Amino acid sequence: MSLEAAVRGEITGVILAGGRATRMGGEDKGLLRVAGRPMVEHVLRALRPQVSDLFINANRNLVRYREFGVPVVSDFIDGYCGPLAGMASAMKVARTAYLLTVPCDSPFLSADLAARLHRGLLRDGARIAVADSGERLEPVFALLDRTLLPSLLAYLEAGERKIDRWYAQHPMTRVDFADEPGMFHNLNTPEELAAAEATMQARAAASGRTGGE
């Protein structure tokens, strides 16, 4: 077994699509179309080769999300309690050592996100590895040791919701992704959605020209 396959076998991926998307007028961001495909489909395509198992965390439009061919996990806590609730819900059903989390509105996901976070985790003896854009921490792009589930459940049951405060309770490392700035362009407004579509179209056109030369 290659090192890449061994790493992949230790990781379950979850796409976090459980929010209300208030800045997008309440529309389900994962199902909005970008360059002809639902946004979550772009994320699925990028994430699938990096993990052994894959889930979508969603709290509405469950039938639609199941059409993408992966299990859909809803928050075990009612009331749209934020990304930590989605992380905990996925950790409950995952069977691998680690959980990789990404948001549903990041279609420019790096092809080596899992590998780089995993290397950082091992290098620094951490239990949480979080991507750093070069400007700030990006807390929902994270690799979590699944043995942290009891801690996370206790934190949520105490009514806590702040992701950075829970991370601070455990050995955490920041992994530099300053070379992948586009990955963190979350799409929260119609204008950002249009800009992402223009970027995809430009990349497709450039790829077509390169392939034809």
pLDDT at 209 over 90: no
- Residue 84 gets the label, from left (phi > 0), alpha (psi -120 to 50) or beta, of alpha
State the Cα–Cα distance between residues 18 and 190, nearest whole angstrom. 19
The single-letter code of the amino acid at 190 is P
**Paired tokens of 87:** 């992380």
pLDDT per residue over 172-208, tens digit each?
Answer: 999 999 999 889 887 777 777 777 777 777 776 776 6
Decide if 37 contacts 104 (C-beta within 8 A): no
The long-range contacts involving 159-163, CB below 8 angstroms and separated by at least 24 positions, are: 161/81, 161/82, 161/84, 161/85, 163/82, 163/83, 163/84, 163/139
Block residue for tokens 């996925």: 90
pLDDT per residue over 119-149, tens digit each?
Answer: 999 999 999 999 999 999 999 999 999 999 9
The domain total for the chain is 1
Query: Binning pLDDT at 50, 70 and 90, where does residue 26 land?
Result: low
Q: Locate all alpha helices (DSSP H) within the chain, ordered by sequence.
A: 3-9, 39-47, 62-66, 83-93, 113-124, 149-157, 163-167, 190-212
**In this structure, what CATH number is given to the domain that contains residue 109?**
3.90.550.10
Range 23-48 average pLDDT: 86
| Residue-number span of the structural domain to which 154 is assigned | 3-212
